[in-house]
Chain A
């Protein structure tokens, strides 16, 4: 929720103000995580200062293809979704849930016949700098998955409740982006502590930032860094950045009732068509910022004195994922792909009350076969689309 009051009205930060915000957070003990350039892509990593941000870098994303490019300005946030999402930090790819130790024979603990069990407790303090509207929306969706309902995830809760989110409204959507049509961007509506809009200036002059506090923590941070009051012109300039982004979405999800469409299309021939292209490699599900499936592995050491339970990311494109007694119920790519798409865009509503898609486009960009879910929906929706757009 937006905080009322003059102290938390929008302010303008220059580079020194942004640098001060990063320094303040690091000084307060936060791990500041932001997009950085690594191995030809934007990758979230710990930063030490504003100098670590990818100044002047942009991206070009297409189905199955990602390239960095140089911008003709000095924007620090002038690119679309990085290679992987913030999910890596809140719901890590591999976590030890607990460890058990059997004391050596003869010790008092051993005589009691006990394993000593230690529940893993990590309490990271992450500040996410540069999260986009689609990504903040994805975090809210995962909040519902991990924290809603009767059974909550303690590891996710610890990381999430401490996390500070400094979001940035999107200025430069990619060819694979469609957050507008998923009502997830490009403007951050909720779920952040501070929302920045970066206004890049031509000829590599320093960009500046319109900063709005969306929470008390965010307002407190902004009060501690040098800023200027936002003029109406500054607010207009920032609004124009977001409006321009909305006008340049690379893709669009067809405007149909996806829940109904998919529930009626379980035997559509398009599933066979996509199964010929899909590699079942799991990439789409693992780069998806909302996919939440995991598998647990029980591990023992050779001597039988140490044991642990690990949780790792899993995917509906793994054969083991649907293994029940006697075999896997989804043994072919057709049924695996259908499971992914119908859950993401359809039955997610039944389960959690929203869509599971935020339109970040990662599944499109990072699919080695270049499969585009908006195109698959368009093919499945064919006649429905003609009905709604006569």
Chain B
């Protein structure tokens, strides 16, 4: 690179682009980011080989094709620090629903010419393929956590990204618990913080966009959801969204789907 600024690359795998758009959504900080780093964007997956080397790679998306499985190895080799951004890159994303099913069936139903579609049977997180230095959760990621991560990277400090639950953020924000005071089903007790308890602040239960917290007890929450009147089919659905294949959510939904632990 012709500049002294650290080079930052943004890579896209199987994803909706929402997380990298978060970078563009940093209206107030975008010029500062652009002033401090040399930004290289690789928006499309068509690039066949990785050129150059990068101080920081932000990786969006999951691995769903053999090409991508190879390309992520090249990205890792070209990157000093690799940070995954969002639920797809961190847990396989909504497209990991295929992991619970037969992908050939989907392919034949959805596409007029399924023979042209080459895809793996699973959608897997980046960490299933290469070493990851930091994972930013969320669908999409939080703007504040992204800026915090880039700031921390620039100044050689540890980013302040806590793995506590959404309940912590509700209590910090002063939200009244929607489950305790309203009987609303909520994944907050098992979900990773980072959204600043956005949904409960608007009287909705947490949808688990940030995936499992550091320490969870999903089987106990399942008991609680059942006590609140939620049917098992619905419990499986609520656990199988953007982070369906994250370990704790997957194990819990599979146990419920298999009829385990029901009264």
Q: A residues bordering B, Cβ < 8 Å?
A: 38-41, 43, 64-67, 83-84, 88, 93-94, 275-283, 286-287, 297-304, 312-313, 315, 317-320, 331-333, 336, 365-369
Contacts and interface: CB of A to CB of B under 8 A. Distances in A.
Contacts of A88: 174
Interface stretch (B39-47, B102-110, B146-154): B146-154
A300 B177 CA distance: 32
A317 B164 CA distance: 8
Interface in B156-210: 157, 160, 162-165, 167-168, 171-177, 179-183, 186, 188-190, 203
Contact of B176 (A43, A94, A281, A331): A43
20 contacts: A65-B183, A66-B181, A67-B181, A84-B174, A277-B223, A279-B189, A279-B221, A280-B213, A281-B188, A282-B165, A286-B168, A299-B151, A303-B35, A303-B36, A312-B172, A313-B171, A318-B164, A319-B164, A333-B217, A369-B220
Nearest to A365: B180
Given A303-B36, A333-B215, A368-B224, A315 B168 contact: yes
A218 B216 CA distance: 47
A286 B137 CA distance: 23
Contacts of A65: 180, 183
B51 interface: no
A313 B172 contact: yes
Given A300-B155, A302-B151, A40 B171 contact: no
B217 A302 contact: no
A88 B175 CA distance: 12
B29 interface: yes
Contacts of B180: 64-66, 365-368
Chain B interface size range: 35 or more
A366 B172 CA distance: 14
Interface in B216-241: 216-217, 219-221, 223-224
A283 B181 contact: no
A379 to B, nearest CB: 17
Given A279-B189, A281-B189, A318-B164, A84 B181 contact: no
Contact of A84 (B154, B171, B216): B171
A281 B190 CA distance: 7
Nearest to A298: B157
A93 B172 contact: yes
Contacts of B33: 302
B263 interface: no
A72 B81 CA distance: 64
Contacts of B186: 368
Contact of A318 (B29, B147, B203, B214): B214
Given A278-B220, A282-B168, A303 B32 contact: yes
